[in-house]
Amino acid sequence: MSNNLKARLIKALVWPIVTYCSEAWTLNKELCENVEAFEMQCYRRAMRISYVEHVTNEEVLRRVGQDRGLLGQVKSRKLKYFGHTTRHESLEKDIMLGIMPGKRRQNVRRNSGSMISFNGATEAWSTGGEQKRLSVLSS
């Protein structure tokens, strides 16, 4: 069997099983490394290249005649799913975009009546909207 046919069989038979529900994956650094390692492991097994032969990943990809594509496929599926969910009004859209109904304003500072120092020279006391500035003597 030719190397090109082996790569095509991997893409047709293995990738759909591996990427099932990959839209819900959280792509952190560790998961990305695991996906890329699995892709190389599949190519090495198909080509019968052992790790003790010290063949680099670039050489394996050159022999197979492919580029790394599994992680790119996962990312494109995630983007397609995000576009699909944001086009329609649904609970998933609200969860993904973080939209919550109500009138609560975000990033509003509340006065707590605490002391704030500015470089040790001035202090401001804020209570209920009024502000008093006091000079502080440096000792």
Position 114: which residue type? S
Residue 128 · residue 120 · CB < 8 Å: no
Q: Do the strands 130-135 and 122-127 form a parallel or antiparallel pair, or are they unpaired? A: antiparallel
Residue 114, pLDDT > 80, answer no
Residue 7, pLDDT > 80, answer yes
**Confidence category of residue 91, pLDDT binned at 50, 70, 90:** confident
How far is 65 from 3, CA to CA, in rounded Å? 8
Residue 1, pLDDT > 90, answer no
Range name among 20-29, 72-81, 93-102 with the lowest pLDDT average: 93-102
The one-character DSSP state at 53 is G
What's the angle, vertex CA 103, arms to CA 102 and CA 106, rounded to 5?
105
Question: Across residues 117-139, what is the average pLDDT?
Answer: 46
**Residue 11 token pair:** 């893409």
**Confidence category of residue 20, pLDDT binned at 50, 70, 90:** very high
Q: Where are the domains of the chain?
A: 3-97
Position 130: which residue type? E
Q: Of 11, 28, 7, 9, whose CA–CA distance to 19 is shortest?
A: 11
Question: Given the structure tokens 């002391």, which residue do they identify?
Answer: 115
What's the angle, vertex CA 33, arms to CA 29 and CA 35, rounded to 5?
120
Residue length, the chain? 139
**Residue 19 token pair:** 């990427």
Q: Of 3, 40, 25, whose CA–CA distance to 77 is shortest?
A: 25
